[in-house]
Structure 1
Amino acid sequence: MPVPKVERVTQTAILGESPHWEPKEKALYWVDIPGCEVRRYDPVTQEETGIKIDDTPVSFVLPVVGRKGQFVIGHGHDVAVLSWDGRSASPSGLQTLARVDTAPGQEAHILNDGKADATGRLWAGTLGTRRGPGDFEPGAGSLYSLTRGHDLKKQLTGLTIANGLAWSHDKTLFYYIDSPTKRVDVFDFDVADGNIANRRTAFDFVANHVEGVPDGMTIDADGMLWVACFGGNQVVRCDPSTGKLLARVPIPALKVTAVAFGGERLDELFVTTAHKDSTAAQRQAYPQAGSLFRVRDLGVTGVLAHPVVV
């Protein structure tokens, strides 16, 4: 792999997440979860715009198929449709589609990472109650998929920090991360009915001596996974068929949260980071933490992430 070039392209967020390249606009959308913001970055003009959506955390943003200016977002407990032109200071609409984990005792179980599969079906997971910096109630989170009728289907339980999602190019495998396990797991995937089965390990951080825990991830055109390493100041490329580490890309932030391919040729990797709960020493060591970074000269290309059908 060539020597990658890492460039900071935006100012800091508290906890950046969920980068998604929109090819028609040639722009990147992402969120600041505790900042309750959806952001848009235009690499050509280098302009960044954003909106704050009340005081509820926003965990992911995905365009809606066939509806310009509409996005499905994670909004606290809600899966909602946001209407925003990408430039105005406030949204023009916010409609709830479904709500997760609202039983007594689940008030803090909010949505985290979310993505769409090849059919446009949304997948999103929840966190357990936050007990302290990086410490969440073990086994309290779940993974859901959203049906065309806007009903939620619980796919997995017993999760702690529901995180990265990706699918193989032939649509037969689903890759998933529950961060504290320090693994990327893989399931057999039925794209027609959205069922997953036969969970096993695809990549193990401990076995491959990778620092940090796995957070968000994406897949490249060769079928290799790119995984953000929270607490490891890097992104790693791994082969999910062999479980082997292929490459490391250092990022000038300790808490690397998510990745997405973008750019005209899908040969640029956009990387979100965080500075939330950082110590004074960590802030001094990583003054650009929380920024959005762009990585070039990777020698690979990505594939377009899917929008959501609602």
Structure 2
Amino acid sequence: MAPTIERVVENIELGEGPHWDAATQTLYFVDIFSKTINKYDPSTNTHTKAHFDTYTSFIIPVEGKEDTFVVGLGRDIVIVKWDGRSDKVASIKKLTEVDNYSPESTENRLNDGKCDLSGRLWAGTMGVEKINGHVKPNMGTFYSFENNSLRKHFDQIGISNGLAWSKDNKKLFYIDSPRRTIDQFDFDIENGKISNRKILFSLEKNHIEGLPDGMTIDENGNLWVAVFNGFKILKIDSTIPETLLDTVKIPAKQVTSVAWGGPNLDELYVTTAKFMVDGLVLNPPEHGTVYKISGLGTKGLPMSNFKLT
């Protein structure tokens, strides 16, 4: 039986960073260009958002603290208090600032971010995008943050993007979009270290158009990768290099990220965008929509929240 795809939130400029919160059974995500954090409650089919003065990049609940989130805000990692209903947050507390090493780097911004099983935050940056779709190359850096301490892992990144961990927490999968590859690292969760970077899958080698963007992993160890400018999601075997298992077509051109959700984690939420690049207009409702896909025959792993120490 073919999967079922439906629109659940519409009119999003640049949807990104979907995070399913199992405790509240709700989906959080950001709209980067609209400078908002968003909440979608499938039980009531309601969508709410709060506005900021600069670009948002991710929103992740803080473990054990109600209505509290770690958010990427420009180049800052902050803690916000938000009731999930108001159009403004109650408070913002800055934890740290990234990419402050030169006047040029201060034009950067944070992009995708996720937490590992220990509650440690991983996030990277990208160069300035003064014209939509044209990012200053090789300006980004990849970081982790825990115990109020920021650690730099590597730089020379085009657009820091998708993150996922293997079920046994021995591998970190990572995407720098302009490289058009899904890479893997050996992952040391105890010490928060990564090493031995290798290419797992190359869109170039497999003759796939578009850029790899956000991604997630299922319980069987398969990666699901959003393809920006590709109208699709790729299902990739994370254990055998260059192994494409399936392709799921999406009605939107700019597919940005994916996250497993629902009571059984068997529904795939897909964020998309509709911003103009080089004069190409993408019209709603197909573009700039959050989709929910059911019937994919697998389910995901629970997403980890941020542990504030």
TM-score of the pair, normalised by structure 1: 0.96
Counterpart of 2:293 (choices 268, 292, 295) is 295
Query: In the TM superposition, what is the alpha-carbon distance from 1:71 to its structure 2 partner?
Result: 0.5
- Counterpart of 1:36? 35
Structure 2: how far apart are the matches of 1:294 and 1:177? 23
Does residue 306 in structure 1 map to residue 276 in structure 2?
no
User: 2:65 — aligned with what?
Assistant: 67
The equivalent of 2:94 in structure 1 is: 96
Aligned pairs (5 A) from 1:1-310: 2-53=1-52, 55-102=53-100, 103-148=102-147, 150-242=148-240, 243-278=242-277, 282-284=281-283, 287-310=285-308
**2-side partners of 1:96 and 1:180: how far apart?**
30
1:279–1:289 distance in 2 versus 1, CA, 3 Å? farther
RMSD: 1.3
Which residue type is aligned with residue 221 of structure 1? E
Distance 2:97 2:276 in 1: 28
CA distance in 2, matches of 1:10, 1:139: 33
Cα separation, 1, equivalents of 2:220 and 2:12: 31
Equivalenced residue count is: 306
Contact 2:27 2:40 in 1 (8 A): yes
Deviation, 1:95, is 0.4
- SS of equivalent residue, structure 1 residue 9: strand
- Counterpart CA distance in 1 for 2:55 and 2:269 is 22
In structure 2, the gaps of 5 or more residues are: none
Q: Shift of residue 104 of structure 1?
A: 1.4
Contact 2:221/2:239, CA 8 A, preserved across alignment: no
Distance in 2, Cα, partners of 1:107 & 1:280: 28
Alpha-carbon displacement from aligned partner over 1:222-246 (angstroms, at most 9, x marks no partner) = 0100000000011111002212111
Instruction: Report how far residue 130 of structure 1 moved.
Output: 2.1
Aligned to 1:136, the other structure's residue is in SS state: coil
Is the 1:254–1:282 Cα contact (8 Å) retained in structure 2? no
Aligned mates of 1:177, 1:19 — CA distance in 2: 16
Give % identity.
42
Name the TM-score, length of structure 2 as normaliser. 0.96
Please state how far the C-alpha of 1:131 moved relative to its aligned partner: 4.9
State the distance in 2 between where 1:209 and 1:45 align. 42
Q: Which deviates further from its counterpart, 68-77 or 209-218? A: 209-218
Give, in whole Å, the separation in 1 of the partners of 2:62 and 2:153: 22
- Could you tell me which runs of 5 or more consecutive residues in structure 1 were left unpaired when the two chains were aligned: none
- Give 1:247 shift: 0.9
